Amino acid sequence: MGVTRRQALGGLAGSAATASLAGRAQGEVAPNWSSLVAAFRVPDWFRDAKFGIWAHWSAQCVPEFGDWYGRKMYVQGDPFYDHHLSTYGHPADRGFLEIENQWKAERWDPEHLVALYKAAGARYFMALANHHDNLDAYDSTYHAWNTLRVGPKRDIVGIWEKIARRHGLRFAVSNHSSHAWHWWQTAYGYDAEGPRAGERYDAFRLTKADGAGKWWDGLDPQELYTGPSMVPPDGIETAQAMRDWHEVHSRRWMEFAPPENPHHVAKWLLRQQDLVEKYRPDMVYFDNYALPFGTVGLEALAHYYRQSIARDGKVEVVATAKQLTPYQRTALVDDVERGFADGLRAEPWQTCTCIGDWHYNRARYEQKSYVPAAKVIQRLCDVVSKNGNLLLSIPMRGDGSIDSEEEKILAGITRWMRRNGDAAIFGSRPWRIYGEGPTKVGGGMFGEGKVTFTAEDVRFTTRKGTLYAALLEWPDKPVTIVALGKAALPQAAIERVSLVGGGRVTFERGEAGLTVALPRGGSEDFVPVLRIEGRGLV
């Protein structure tokens, strides 16, 4: 369906046109917004799941230096460049393709990890299918730079998929590769100053022929690095000027097709279609604002939905993208990266976040600067109260392991979920309002670090006719919940208040609110959840 295999290396215009015709001929889902809207309804499994865990794992985890290593290691003066120079050598001699080869996954135990994530309450598991570094972590038919030929020499996505499904989890994949064409342009640059000034980095000079007799024999580095599209000109004389050039020309987030490189766009669609046909993911995460490459992104989504209809009789899968318009939110699920919603949303949505850097950063472990379990649960309760799901990344080392601090955080999440998850989270729905409290939460991406919740911040959910209220800090004095007072709910009666996993809670209901007095929490207790029973509440 969609673009045929014989058109694998066709140009952008031909591929997009053929995809559109194929979508219309299919008659079920065409590659346009109105058809996608008509086909899609958020499946109940996603609405019930509430919590997923993501293995955001690629070769960029090997240096243990944090996010966007592959791009930043080619920017002279950047800490990533300095680290690469001192650890691996000059990027003209040892570029990122050598890091791809060092990704061996020698301590990867996916059975153990998926069991940990399920115990922590994850109802879906997401595997990184590829990142901006353009290496496919699966048995990729259309991209030779994949983990069966490079690095781990295994089908990473395929192994995750089998184990996740065996544990009863929904399986998801994330696709970030549309951005590789502009993300990699630093690799075509050069040092602007110093002893090797003007000498172009490896991406600029390496060809397929250079691999003869090497580990990458038969592979074309230009296929990995995508080819030159925004190459810095000769004559830049300072590292700062080079950084400024990249900031202006290739740092921006670009969803359009590169005019010089229709091959990349056509192949992106084939890789995406191949991914969903081989592994039948219940969810695809597009790391894109709306969808990439105009009509090509629409064809990718239509193809995914058609696959589900053929298999399930209706669209039973979820796709997510970012910065969606209200209309687009009825065709796929809006993802808010590292941010909040400022209110209760009509459509189910998702926030994706991480307890550290997206790619493993050893400094987080050494400094003990991960997001603790209590703050993860605060986010979960806030998101779920607003009709959303939380997708949480637990950074993995290049060798496939997680560190002891991450294990402690997972253990804390597990304890809380065992006590509260089945009551107030899984299968829950929002109440008439999401909550109340003094902490103002702004909507939008990348705002999560600015929020500190208190015991007066309350978040509501309902499940099976019962109302639940999560206090986002464990209180050391009585708390009054205004939304449950007689003035706010004059027709309701509250008959019983209890602590989930505990006993009855002393309460008093007046015009101004419901005042509750909780027992003191233990050293490992956080975010208490109240079960509120009575008449006229839900």
pLDDT in tens, 61-82: 999 999 999 999 999 999 999 9
Looking at the predicted structure, is the pLDDT value of residue 16 above 90?
no
Here the tokens at position 480 are 């009054």
Residues pairing with 530 in the sheet: 469, 499
Q: Where do the DSSP E strands lie in 155-277?
A: 170-175
Q: Which region holds residue 490: left if phi is over 0, alpha if psi is between -120 and 50, else beta?
A: alpha
- In angstroms, rounded to a whole number, what is the distance separating the alpha carbons of residues 334 and 383? 13
* Greatest CA separation for the chain: 81
Of 384, 358, 372, 366, give the one whose Cα is nearest residue 410.
372
Average pLDDT over residues 156-162: 98
Pick from 68-72, 252-256, 335-339, 494-498: least confident: 252-256
Mean pLDDT (whole number) for 112-139: 98
Average pLDDT over every residue of 456-473: 98
Could you tell me which residues are beta bridge partners of residue 510?
513
The C-alpha atoms of residue 271 and residue 304 are separated, in whole angstroms, by: 12
Residue 385, number of CB atoms within 10 A of its CB: 24
Residue 15: band (very low, low, confident or very high) from pLDDT cuts 50, 70, 90: very low
For residue 454, the model assigns a pLDDT of 97
Vertex 479, ends 473 and 481: CA angle to 5°?
100
Supply the pLDDT for residue 259.
87
Give pLDDT, residue 458: 98
**Burial class, 536, CB count within 10 angstroms (exposed 0-12 / middle 13-18 / buried 19+):** exposed
DSSP label of 425: I
The pLDDT value recorded for residue 250 is 84
pLDDT at 136: 98
Give the pLDDT confidence score for residue 411 in this predicted structure: 98
- Lowest-pLDDT range of 112-121, 271-280, 519-528: 519-528
Position 350: which residue type? Q
For Cα atoms 339, 345, 350, give the angle at the middle one, nearest 5 degrees: 45
**What value does the mean pLDDT of the chain take?**
94
When pLDDT is cut at 50, 70 and 90, the band that residue 260 belongs to is: confident
pLDDT of 503 > 80? The answer is yes
Mean pLDDT of 43-66: 98
The residue whose two tokens read 């208490």 is 528
Residue 375 has pLDDT above 70, yes or no: yes
SS3 508: strand
**Tokens representing residue 54 in the block:** 């993501």
Q: What is the mean pLDDT of residues 359-370?
A: 98
Residue 187 exposure: Cα atoms within 13 Å on the Cβ side: 31
Residue that has been written with the tokens 């969803």 in this structure: 255
pLDDT-derived band at 11 (thresholds 50, 70, 90) equals very low
- Whether 14 has a pLDDT exceeding 90, the answer reads no
The DSSP bridge pattern shows strands 283-289 and 318-322 to be parallel
Question: What b-and-e string marks burial along 280-290, b requiring 16 or more CB atoms within 10 Å of the CB?
Answer: ebbbbbbbbeb
**Mean pLDDT of the 231-260 span:** 93
All domains in the chain, ordered by first residue: 435-535 (2.60.40.1180)
pLDDT at 21: 39
Region label for 64, one of left (φ > 0), alpha (ψ between -120 and 50) or beta (otherwise): left
Start-to-end CA distance of the chain, whole Å, equals 46
Cβ atoms within 10 A of the Cβ of 495, count?
9
For tokens 């590829």, the residue is 130
Q: Determine the pLDDT at residue 449.
A: 82
- pLDDT band with cut points at 50, 70 and 90 for residue 24: very low
**What is the structure's pLDDT at 487?**
98
